[in-house]
Amino acid sequence: MQHIQQLFSKALQGHDKGYDTAYFRSRIPELNQFSVSDAFIERSRAALLEYLRQADICSGCQGFHACGKQGDMQGFTQVLEPYKGQLNVSVQRCRPYIDHLAKKRVDRYASLAGMIELDESFQFENYPQEQSKKYPKLMRYAMEFAMGFQPDDQTPTTSGVYLFGPPGVGKTHLMLAVFNRLRERGVPCLVVRSDSLFDRMRHLIADSQDLEPFLDTLSTVPVLGIDEFAQERANDFTLEKLFRIVNHRFHANLPTWFTSNYAPPDAYRRRGEDVNDSVYPLRSRIMKMCMMAHLEGSDARQRHLRSLT
């Protein structure tokens, strides 16, 4: 943290004579909030002008990739703070830069996580009309989430969704439509298939590779989707790792979307018994952190079967 008068060179002095104290008080509410004197504003006009210039650049932000700031100020924003009756200015990493780093990490481990390559053909616009009309509340929530979610958002639309029902009723299509829209908006997100998730864990272990980057990425990505949940063959070790991922996301309030042929109470049950001691607390967290959505209907994949006979 530096004193506001020491931030900028003397070369800036002399170019700020047309700005009086009323101008700065109208443009920078903190000056009134912190009861800064007119004399201090007069002494700090050059620095305050630079603060406003930086703020104007940030107001038109189009993301870190298009940051309009120069040199070391890229990825930073300025914050005015009171200090011993005056003001200090500190710099901190801006939200777009933090999101940029998160996206880089997600991209780096996308193949490691067995990420589904999102097919851009899965959109809200071509989602089956009969399902859209049958489940208007679900469609409204999915679209609001896809268009409105922001990392660190704490609004009611941050809950994930557990989509379950028989094959071919549009579960994966709807989830991919949500994630395609999030990706278009620059929100870091990942979609993994449940079988790929477990296979990747086994391969990493077999190759004596570090499992931590893989687990950390899935645990912390702002939005995670798990397709075909509970439809793979899992063992004690991989289920415990899955619990770790879900448990972290549960406590961090990070939205997670699931698709599954199984209702939550039936996930990871074989012959009426849970396949692992961690299954019950896993299901409990999922049901708490997600909105439930049961989809029914005919298998859309079988409507246009081709025959050679």
The pLDDT, as a whole number, for residue 127 is 94
Q: Which among 165, 167, 147 has a CA at the least distance from the CA of 157?
A: 147
- Is it the case that residue 27 has pLDDT exceeding 70? yes
The pLDDT, as a whole number, for residue 3 is 45
- Is it the case that residue 4 has pLDDT exceeding 60? no
Tens-digit pLDDT profile for residues 174-232: 999 999 999 888 788 889 888 887 887 788 888 888 888 888 889 988 899 999 999 87
273-274 and 269-270 beta bridge pairing: antiparallel
- Assign 3-state DSSP to the chain and report helix, strand, coil percentages, each to 5: 50, 15, 35
Adjacent-strand bridge partners of 87: 82
- Of 18-22, 109-113, 206-210, 242-246, minimum mean pLDDT range: 109-113
The pLDDT, as a whole number, for residue 8 is 41
Cα 282 from Cα 210, distance rounded (Å): 24
In which band, very low, low, confident or very high, does the pLDDT at 307 lie, cut at 50, 70 and 90? low
The pLDDT, as a whole number, for residue 43 is 83
Which run of H or E residues covers position 37?
Answer: none
Q: What are phi and psi of 251, to 5 degrees?
A: -75, -25
3-state secondary structure of 90: strand
- Is it the case that residue 143 has pLDDT exceeding 60? yes
- Is it the case that residue 248 has pLDDT exceeding 70? yes
